[in-house]
Amino acid sequence: MVVFLHVTVSVQAQNKIENKVAAAVEQLRKAMIDADKTALENLVSDQLSYGHSGGHIDYKKEFVEKLVTGKSDFVTMELTEQTISISGKTAIVRHKLSATTNDGGKPGEVHLLVMLVWQKKGSKWILLARQAVKV
Domains in the chain: boundaries: 2-134
pLDDT (0 to 100) of residue 59 = 98
- Could you tell me the pTM of the whole model? 0.89
Instruction: Say what the pLDDT of residue 1 is.
Output: 46
- Cα distance between residue 109 and residue 100, in whole Å: 4
Task: Please report, in tens digits, the pLDDT of each residue of the chain (135 residues total).
Answer: 444 444 444 445 568 999 999 999 999 999 999 999 999 999 999 999 999 999 999 999 999 999 999 999 999 999 999 999 999 999 999 999 999 999 999 999 999 999 999 999 999 999 999 999 999
Provide the CATH number for the domain formed by 2-134 in this structure. 3.10.450.50
